[in-house]
Amino acid sequence: MRAIILMFDSLNRHMLPPYGGAEIETPNFTRLAERSVTFENFSIGSMPCMPARREMHTGRYNFLHRSWGPLEPFDDSMPELLSRRGIHTHLVSDHPHYWEDGGATYHTRYTTWEGFRGQEGDAWKAVVGSRASFAAQPGPVVRAQDRVNRTYMDSEATHVQTRTVDAGIDFLDTNAEADEWLLQLELFDPHEPFFAPQSYRDLHGLPPTEDRFDWPTYGRVVEDEDQVDEARREYASLVSFCDHSLGRVLDAMDRHDLWRDTLLIVNTDHGFLLGERGWWAKSVQPWFNELAHLPFFLWDPRHGMAGQRSDAIAQTIDLAPTLLGFFGLDIPEDMQGTDLGSVIAAERDPRDSALWGIHGGHVNIGDGRFVYMRAPESRENAPLEEFTLMPTHMRQRFSVSELAAWEPAPPFSFTKGLRTMRTNSTSAWMNAWAHGTLLFDLQDDPKQESPLIDDAVERRMVELLIQAMHANDAPASQFERLGLPVDGEILDAHLRCRVDAERAASAAEPLPALSALRHADELSRPLPEIVGNAALRDVLETEAPDLLHTEVLTAPRGASIIDLARRAHIPAAVVRRIDAALDDALDDALDENLNGAPR
């Protein structure tokens, strides 16, 4: 028995031809669909990147207890369990987050592993002084480092995706006659930045240039339509490259006749918004279907089903039980997922609903038709707590101030009797409250364009959500944050769609492009500069008083009105009003320096 996982990052389901996409030609994804079962209702769970990978190891949700972080001492790890039973597990990946503080306990769970460098500003190549030389270009240090890295990947052969797939193919060629192994070949692409070799950019009409718009900023779109189109074509170029890499894996399976006894999973962690709904990227907006509804393909030689489709409600938490079941291991009791091989063989649903979300954001539940996105009850989004024995974030340790007041928490049902560290947390740039609680009927509104107000349906979805949260042993603080009862009757006061509708509609309005604003320069200045000018401060007092008394106190240093609007802290209508009001204010302040600097 052998198994292969080929995982991509940020692969959009709706753009792939097997799911009706027409924007990109992907002959190898079409070829894959002919050789496997294509899942129609596969969705995300814990978001984003590393929380999803924690689910792949543990088979259970984690976002209600923890933000981005490593595997915990009490976590079951699927590859480690396989290794202990004599099954050789091998990870080949260029995913840079494995080698950072928030991911450093994942790759060591495999029997052997290979890591490849160069993706997304990975601190890889050292060119002393290079970061300073890029300082005049936009973006933080990670973008400057990425520009250095690209100079070492000037061909398809030297591109990190190629080098990673080369290593995966080498594993297959070396071990094709061996038995009892798992290969996890994991590609960071098509995650941003959308850096593809020129031959794939040629397919999408992109000329050779170093001046590329291939790394959109997370948040609302403020670029012109031609820039949005350029980013979409850069993404499409990278997907074309990924399709080629998929073809190389399928060729290796053909060459070694691996289809007869080798399980194949092709999956991704989440999608990526490319201007849809006026948004870029993920995490800072609600988890709409473009992000949450995933492509998933499974070839399982136990039943040999190919060219078929499954309507089962499946999730990332099902991967660990599927692999354990395939190799004949028992599934640990703390795993919440199901062996998908047995699901499609029996033509049954593993669950009647799916839970998903990001720590501190909306908590979502879907039943196959309705999607319910529960927002925090208050702007403060509190209480929000972390429960961990591994206090690290993505690229740094917890700060001294974060740990100064930690308290021991009672064991959860899945912590193997261990108490965890409980610390207070914030949702930082996320602002789920601004978007309100949302309900969508995917049958009548598959594009999620018209939020539904239906008390009966919302009450049923609240019941499903509470059940799912209890099944995950969610902390009481999550119920309080969401304004939900831990137990007892669901009252009319617990229903939020109607109450939040006006705020949700305001948050859904796209921002105007910067080119359409008369005073984009002023709106892009750091808030302290604007607040320090009496005439401009008066505009904010009139048009956005909350901005001065809430966001300005908590916004990251250097944030501007546009920055806050891109993260939905300021509605589009308010931005337009401020822009119009600045006409008179700037006339009044014509001779006044803005925070001591000439305009």
Q: 125 in a domain, yes or no?
A: no
Do 488 and 340 have their domain in common?
Answer: no
Do 37 and 114 have their domain in common?
Answer: yes
Do 247 and 190 have their domain in common?
Answer: yes
Q: 130 in a domain, yes or no?
A: no
Q: What integer pLDDT is reported at residue 531 of this predicted model?
A: 83
Do 373 and 405 have their domain in common?
Answer: yes
Centroid of chain to Cα 322: 23
Vertex 303 angle, CA 301 and 306, to 5°: 80
Do 405 and 524 have their domain in common?
Answer: no
Q: 127 in a domain, yes or no?
A: no
Q: 586 in a domain, yes or no?
A: yes
Do 490 and 541 have their domain in common?
Answer: no
Vertex 195 angle, CA 121 and 151, to 5°: 65
Vertex 399 angle, CA 396 and 405, to 5°: 145
Q: 215 in a domain, yes or no?
A: yes
Gyration radius of the chain's alpha carbons: 24
Do 294 and 393 have their domain in common?
Answer: no
| Tokens 């992000």, residue located | 291
HSE-CB of 520 using CA atoms within 13 angstroms: 9
Helix (H, G, I), strand (E, B) or coil at 461: helix
| Structure tokens that stand for 596 in this block | 């001591």
- The CA–CA distances, whole Å, from 433 to 63, 127, 430 equal 17, 43, 9
Which residues in the chain land under pLDDT 50?
136, 138, 593-595, 597-599
Pairing status of strand 37-43 against strand 219-220: unpaired
Domain that holds residue 399: 358-506
Do 409 and 494 have their domain in common?
Answer: yes
> What digits encode the pLDDT tens for the residues 123-135?
999 999 876 665 5
Q: 413 in a domain, yes or no?
A: yes
Q: What integer pLDDT is reported at residue 552 of this predicted model?
A: 54
Do 388 and 436 have their domain in common?
Answer: yes
Do 444 and 561 have their domain in common?
Answer: no
Please, which residues have CB within 8 angstroms of residue 565's CB and are 6 or more apart in sequence? Answer: 220, 511, 571, 572, 574, 575
Q: 533 in a domain, yes or no?
A: yes
Q: 138 in a domain, yes or no?
A: no
| Structure tokens that stand for 257 in this block | 């006749």
Domain count along the chain = 3
Q: Which of 12, 39, 16 is nearest to 29 (CA)?
A: 16
- The CA–CA distances, whole Å, from 406 to 65, 75, 105 equal 15, 21, 23
Q: Which of 526, 509, 530 is nearest to 576 (CA)?
A: 509
For residue 118, count other CB atoms closer than 10 A to its CB: 25
For residue 468, count other CB atoms closer than 10 A to its CB: 22
Q: Which of 293, 327, 348 is the last residue of a domain?
A: 348
Do 243 and 259 have their domain in common?
Answer: yes
The CATH number for 268's domain is 3.40.720.10
Q: Which of 473, 506, 539 is the last residue of a domain?
A: 506
Q: Which of 506, 538, 568 is the last residue of a domain?
A: 506
Do 231 and 304 have their domain in common?
Answer: yes
Q: What integer pLDDT is reported at residue 598 of this predicted model?
A: 44
Amino acid, single-letter form, for residue 147: R
